[in-house]
Amino acid sequence: METPNLETKEVINSNIQMEPTVMNDTTRRNADNLEVKGESGLETRGVHAWFDKHHALADVSLHFPENTVTGLIGPSGCGKSTFLRLLNRMHEFIPKAAMAGQVLFEGNDIYADDVNAIDMRRRIGMVFQKPNPFPAMNIGENVVAGLKLSKIKSANKDEVIEDCLTRAGLWNEVKDRLKSPGGSLSGGQQQRLCIARSLALKPDVLLLDEPCSALDPGSTLRVEETIVQLSESMTIVIVTHNMQQAARVSDYCAFFLSDGGPGHLVEADLTTNIFSNPKDTRTADYVQGRFG
């Protein structure tokens, strides 16, 4: 709807940018950068989000190619977490929240009437900012909680527990105390337990909402290693405030910004381009730490 008028800024940009000729239409260029390849992966087309009357996010079109990591970056309040929650319909749990546009998963709109949001969420997993293991369950039970909650019968739960904890990089640390409560682990271990819990459902996409913001540097590094390993077999979208983290783990980066109005996508590109050669000065300012 309200596409921000970038023209005055573009003029300034063109003096700095290396490719001034293609700076006319930021939105279209973004879509071109992350070109849609058939019906694979996850894609949004012109999504908007509202909280009651507050227009939080405007007209975001992005494609997340299969088996890649995309970092969503931008200052606080730019709508990137809102955008992430639109990708598996967690947005609709917020009272008075509304959305418009399409989110295509393997070519089908997940907001279509015939889509069962519950089934869809099993394929598009999510890990939250604050580690949230279930307090009434022990470590092992936490890992297979998703199977229990979605009534999936699993013949060999022990195998699932070991496999998921191994992939989340936690197995060696907890294999001797699977019966202890999830809350007895450190923050970083809890977060990897939450990742393992998501993996048990064998999702195709994993959404991570600032997964390391509550963790110490060592734990952060362990989670990042886990993310990179997982991206070999699944599509990952990660919201982060940490530029180094975005540079370390992501293949693509999307920069969001709110200049008073609703948050919108400024540009999306290969992570190397975003950091070394951004097309928009605001992106350059942000990734170099000049604001936000």
Partner 1 sequence: MFGAVIIPWISIVATVYQKGSKAFYWGYLTTDMRVTASGDALEFGGVLHAIVGTLILVLIASIISVPLGISAAIYVVEIKGRFASTVRFFTQAMSGVPSIVAGLFIYSTICVFFGGFSAWAGALAYTILMLPTVARTSEEVLKLVPDELRAASYALGASQARTVFQVVLPTIATGLVTSAILGIARVAGETAPLLLTASYFVATSRNVNEPIASLPIYIFSSLGLGDANATTRAWGGSLVLLIVVFVLFSIARGLSARLSRK
Contact residues for partner 1, defined by CB under 8 A: 88, 90, 93, 118-122, 125-126, 128, 130, 132, 134-137, 145-146, 148-151, 183, 194, 197-198, 201
Least distance from partner 1 to the Cβ atom of residue 276, Å: 35
How far from 254 is each of 36, 186, 192, CA to CA, in Å? Answer: 15, 31, 25
CB-nearer residue toward partner 1: 145 or 239: 145
CB-nearer residue toward partner 1: 11 or 149: 149
C-alpha 238/C-alpha 223 separation (Å) is 12
CB-nearer residue toward partner 1: 22 or 94: 94
Least distance from partner 1 to the Cβ atom of residue 130, Å: 6
Q: Are 206 and 121 in contact (CB under 8 A)?
A: no
Least distance from partner 1 to the Cβ atom of residue 138, Å: 12
Q: Which residues pair with 50 in a beta bridge?
A: 55, 98
CB-nearer residue toward partner 1: 120 or 221: 120
Q: Angle at CA 139, nearest 5°, toward 135 and 141? A: 85
**Pairing status of strand 264-270 against strand 108-109:** unpaired
Among candidate residues 282, 289, 246, 243, the one with its CA nearest the CA of residue 265: 282
Least distance from partner 1 to the Cβ atom of residue 211, Å: 13
Least distance from partner 1 to the Cβ atom of residue 134, Å: 6
Least distance from partner 1 to the Cβ atom of residue 98, Å: 18
SS3 76: coil
CB-nearer residue toward partner 1: 96 or 260: 96
Least distance from partner 1 to the Cβ atom of residue 118, Å: 5
For 18-63, the three-class secondary structure string (H helix, E strand, C coil) is: CCHHHCCCHHHHHHHHCCCCCCCCEEEEEEEEEECCEEEEEEEEEE
CB-nearer residue toward partner 1: 53 or 151: 151
Q: Are 110 and 102 in contact (CB under 8 A)?
A: no
CB-based contacts of 215, cutoff 8 Å, min separation 6? 187, 188, 191, 223
CB-nearer residue toward partner 1: 105 or 275: 105
